[in-house]
Each structure stands twice: as structure tokens, then as C-alpha cells.
């Protein structure tokens, strides 16, 4: 019971960590419950959840996962980038 109360009263930093963690691993029932309750009362964390979901959705688009000729750099472009990086402080 104490663990649930701690999760319910967690700060936004803890909620953000759980929102990110759930993309990588399944949350425990206790974590899911605490996060759900936190999200009910925290507009900022609900907005953050929408943002990370939008980023995930964008990154999963098929055109971003293809390695075609249009997405590769030319040899000249690579040389310019390497030169600029070597000249930077």
C-alpha cells in the first residue's frame, strides 16, 4: 500500500521517467496505476505523453526507415561535413 501511495504522489520527473520506460518495457501494475492516477491530475504530463507518442509515431513512418539513394550523402557533402567538424573548436 505504501508503494502505491508513493507512486500516486510522485512528481512529474518520476512520471516522465515512467512514460519513457513504458516504451522500452512493460510497467508493473503498481507503476501503471500510479502513473494513471498522476496523469489524471497533471495536465503537463498528459501533454508530455502526447508529445512522446507523436515522436514515436513520426519515427515509425516507413519513409524514415528506408535507406534509399535520396537519403544518402554524396562524397562531396561528407568531405565538407568532416572538414567543418575538424575546423570547429
pLDDT at 17: 92
Q: Rounded CA gap, 46 and 34, in Å?
A: 14
Domain count, the chain: 1
Q: Do the domain assignments include residue 42? A: yes
pLDDT in tens, 20-38: 999 899 999 988 988 998 9
Q: Considering only CA atoms, give the Rg of the chain.
A: 21
What's the pLDDT score for residue 46?
Answer: 94
Whether 75 is in a domain gets the answer: no
Q: What is the DSSP string of 25-54?
A: SPPPHHHHHHHHHHHHH-HHHHHHHHHHHH
Domain residues for the domain of 54 are 2-66
Residue 44 covered by a domain: yes
Question: What is d(CA 24, CA 35) in angstroms, rounded to the nearest whole number?
Answer: 16
Q: Is the pTM of this model over 0.85?
A: no
Query: Given a cut of 90, is residue 69 above it in pLDDT?
Result: no
DSSP code, position 72: S
Residue 53, domain member (yes or no): yes
Amino acid at each position: 500500500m505504501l508503494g502505491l501511495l508513493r507512486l500516486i504522489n510522485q512528481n512529474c520527473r518520476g512520471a516522465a521517467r515512467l512514460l519513457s520506460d513504458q516504451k522500452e518495457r512493460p510497467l508493473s501494475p503498481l507503476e501503471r496505476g500510479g502513473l494513471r492516477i498522476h496523469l489524471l491530475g497533471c495536465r503537463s504530463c498528459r501533454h508530455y505523453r502526447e508529445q512522446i507518442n507523436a515522436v514515436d509515431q513520426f519515427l515509425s513512418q516507413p519513409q524514415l526507415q528506408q535507406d534509399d539513394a535520396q537519403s544518402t550523402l554524396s562524397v562531396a557533402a561528407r568531405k565538407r561535413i568532416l572538414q567543418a567538424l575538424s575546423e570547429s573548436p
